Amino acid sequence: MRATFFLIISMLSFTDVAKASTFPKIMTITIGHDKKFSFFTSEKNKNTPYKHLLIGINGYPRDANLLFNALYKATTVSNRNSDTLIIIPIFQVPEKQALACRTTNMPVAKADDLLWQCKSWYQGALASNLPVSSFTAMDTLTQQLLKQMPTIKNVTVAGFSAGGQFVQRYVGFAHFQNSFDKIHYIVADPSSFLYWDSFRPVSSSQPCSNANQWKYGLENLPAYLLQDRSKARQNYINANIDYLEGALDQGTSIKAAYHSLDKSCAARLQGEYRLDRGMHYANYDKDKLAHGTHKLTIIPDCAHSAYCVFTSQKGRAILFKEIQ
């Protein structure tokens, strides 16, 4: 299985698919013989010696354009535009299914795009039209960017909401970190977390059959993730991770995006709302994983908003804390 994956992703090239005047640009890499994986980029000049690669992973509505705006604002306010390249991958789903997870002004899927399902890409699942996982696509894109830009000194991977779920699970199973060690992961306001054992902070008298199943735990771990449990756990412990939570990301209001909160029994065992779950997980991490190396920052006055979290003073401090 492992050899098959690396054979599949060996043919790569960048293609600019947007007009020269468009900002941000949309570019693609080719994975396999003919499948495209697209991404937004802030690159304006190919000769810019970028030092910092900031990769953002959007939420369930696949609002990559809105996340780009948030990170671009944060980069501008922090005076980091000259040395920071922003990249936002676009995880496409089939057009007929996209109504459930589409944001206005986002590009529609094309026949040669890699395709996932609305709820599959942020779990690391295989594409529906090629045996390549979303984690492998992420590895491939990052490796290619680093190869193209040898001036990059630091990589930050920041995910919000479903993107936070993606990043939190990706950390243990990322392969590009084997060849590049200055990586900073930011997990912001996810609806649930991956626990590395059977511990859960909330007890229940009712049985929950999927509480320890992937994506909530390590049971039935997909073989295509290409990593054993102990190695993935150690990767997670060793990684440079920050957790961000909006102080108002709780309750049943629209601003807390209660409608999209994971309400399964497996998620409820992690806490009632996103803020609760984030605080519980930070304590679990401190007690059982990294013992205080991974930090939680709570962002005042922010509910479930990537723009509010990442453009805040505390959010920007975390986004750019690794830049020399």
What is the pLDDT at residue 11? Answer: 38
How far apart, in whole angstroms, are the C-alpha atoms of residue 167 and residue 173?
A: 10
What is the pLDDT at residue 98? Answer: 83
Q: Domain for residue 167, yes or no?
A: yes
Q: What is the pLDDT of residues 15-49, one digit of tens each?
A: 554 443 457 899 999 999 899 999 999 988 778 89
What is the pLDDT at residue 290? Answer: 97
Cα angle 136-269-243, degrees, rounded to a multiple of 5: 50
Q: What is the pLDDT of residues 273-317, one digit of tens each?
A: 999 999 999 999 999 999 999 999 999 999 999 999 999 999 999
Statement: residue 8 has pLDDT above 50:
no
Of the pLDDT bands very low, low, confident and very high (cuts 50, 70, 90), residue 139 is very high
Q: Domain for residue 241, yes or no?
A: yes
Write out the two tokens for 179. Answer: 């060849």
Task: For residue 190, give its domain range.
Answer: 2-319
What is the pLDDT at residue 322? Answer: 78
Q: Domain for residue 40, yes or no?
A: yes
Residue 170's closest CA among 139, 195, 211?
Answer: 139
Q: What is the pLDDT of residues 152-163, one digit of tens each?
A: 999 999 999 999
Statement: residue 6 has pLDDT above 50:
no
CA 232 to chain centre: 17
Number of domains in the chain: 1
What is the pLDDT at residue 15? Answer: 56
Q: Domain for residue 268, yes or no?
A: yes
What is the pLDDT at residue 186? Answer: 98
Q: Domain for residue 84, yes or no?
A: yes
Higher pLDDT, 186 or 4: 186
Token pair 């390590």 is found at 218
Q: What is the pLDDT of residues 217-271, one digit of tens each?
A: 999 999 999 888 999 999 999 999 999 999 999 999 999 999 999 999 999 999 9
What is the pLDDT at residue 96? Answer: 85
Of the pLDDT bands very low, low, confident and very high (cuts 50, 70, 90), residue 14 is low
What is the pLDDT at residue 85? Answer: 97
The torsion defined by the Cα of 218, 223, 225 and 226, in degrees rounded to 10, comes to 110
Q: Domain for residue 153, yes or no?
A: yes
Percent of the chain residues past pLDDT 90, beyond the cut: 82
Q: What is the pLDDT of residues 160-174, one digit of tens each?
A: 999 999 999 999 999
Give the CATH number, domain containing residue 297.
Answer: 3.40.50.1820
Phi, psi (5° rounding) for residue 262?
Answer: -65, 115
What is the pLDDT at residue 26? Answer: 95
What is the pLDDT at residue 324? Answer: 54
* Residue 13 and residue 58 in contact, taking contact as beta carbons nearer than 8 Å: no
Q: Domain for residue 118, yes or no?
A: yes
Q: What is the pLDDT of residues 56-115, one digit of tens each?
A: 999 999 999 999 999 999 999 999 999 999 999 999 999 888 888 888 889 999 999 999
pTM: 0.93
Q: Domain for residue 324, yes or no?
A: no
Statement: residue 151 has pLDDT above 90:
yes
